[in-house]
Amino acid sequence: MNRATTIRVNEIFHSIQGESSFTGWPCAFVRLAGCGHGCLYCDTDYAEESGVLMSVEQTAKQALGYGAPYIEVTGGEPLLQPGVYPLLETLCDRKARVLLETGGFLPVDRVDARVYTIIDIKTPSSGVSEQNCIDNYAFAITSPERFEFKVVIASRQDYLWAKSFLTNQKLSGTCRILFGTVFGALEPRLLAEWLLEDRLPVRMQLQLHKYIWKPDTRGV
């Protein structure tokens, strides 16, 4: 089968959106297989498994079948697979409200303009902050209504780095920015206090699904 019409899928499931500006909404998730970037605080390393080869049509049909208000394509790193682009287009063509979450390592300029894209910004504690795709920031500023950025904080060092990074990339006050904690590594109260003290124009979030279910539960 053609690589552009097939994708390797780790799991498809129906849950509550646990992160992003859409936290709390029912959502169908399509988790694609593969990443390879080695983020130290990754909580979905099982997505490195080979997954199941599916057609774009099969994948879209299964995700749409939940009748959820939103569908999110995530990973792993979904942009590694050529088939992700026709999948996103197919879902949009069928009137789904589509979210994409990417690790922020790869360019997002080929993503369908109807998709709302959530881009991670990797902090030093991830071990891969040097792999952030800088080109994405200037691109997102041209259409800020289509993008938001997620920053995961594990320490005071991460927080100070992120403050400086957002200013240097001209993202602060321009695009939607969400700060969250690495679950179990940083007390949420500390992050809240830092944000209030510095009056940063960012939104704080917690991983809602990890408070509803056990933190290592899959398929939620």
pLDDT of residue 216: 84
The letter for the amino acid at 12 is I
**13, 73 in Cβ contact below 8 A?**
no
* Whole-angstrom distance, CA of residue 171 vs CA of residue 148: 10
Hey, where are the domains in the chain?
3-212
Residue 212 backbone zone (phi > 0: left; psi -120 to 50: alpha; other: beta): alpha
pLDDT, mean of each 10-residue run, the chain (220 residues): 80 96 97 91 85 96 98 96 97 98 97 98 96 96 96 97 95 93 94 96 93 86
203 φ, ψ to 5°? Answer: -105, 135
* Whole-angstrom distance, CA of residue 103 vs CA of residue 39: 9
**140, 119 in Cβ contact below 8 A?**
yes
Q: What is the DSSP string of 3-65?
A: GGGEEEEEEEEEEE--SSTTTTSEEEEEEE-------TT-S-GGGGS--EEEEHHHHHHHHHT
pTM for the full model?
Answer: 0.95
Q: What angle do CA 194, 195, 200 make, to 5 degrees?
A: 135
* Whole-angstrom distance, CA of residue 149 vs CA of residue 128: 16
**160, 190 in Cβ contact below 8 A?**
no
Q: Which residue has the tokens 């030093």?
A: 124
Fold exhibited by the domain 3-212: TIM Barrel (3.20.20)
pLDDT of residue 82: 96
pLDDT of residue 44: 87
pLDDT of residue 187: 97
pLDDT of residue 172: 86
pLDDT of residue 3: 57
pLDDT of residue 114: 98
pLDDT of residue 2: 58
- Residue 48: which of 58, 38, 34 has the closest Cα? 34
Q: Which residue has the tokens 């979210």?
A: 99
